[in-house]
Structure 1
Amino acid sequence: MTAGVGRAWQGVRWYLREFTGEANWDRYLEHCAEHGHPPMSRYDFERQRTDAAEKNPIARCC
């Protein structure tokens, strides 16, 4: 029973991180580590992501 609850929680956690974009930061840090360049700050990363979303409104209602 406990293992099933743990797997369910991991699935919910994964979904929420993907939905909110939190996983994008982790992927960015992995990319920087693989290519050997210093990452930008979290603030700059989020600002760039927000600016890109505003320039390319794909599925926005407003």
Structure 2
Amino acid sequence: MATTDLKLTLRKSAIGSTAKIRQTLTGLGLTRTNKTIVRKDTPELRGMVAKVRHLLDVEEIQC
């Protein structure tokens, strides 16, 4: 059974964003612009991504 991962890249800075947006990015592990992480696709992760989608590039990866 193939699982799906999400490749997340922070494309815009969080400067000027609210504290909740910055905390969400820190929770995702995105601390610097152009940093890329790969995480398992879960409903919790999707919710966090939806909150900061204007700052991210998101790609689905089939594993």
TM-score (ref. length: structure 2): 0.25
Higher relative contact order (CA 8 A, sep 6+): 2
Q: Which has the larger Rg?
A: 1
More strand by share: 2
More helix by share: 1
TM-score (ref. length: structure 1): 0.25
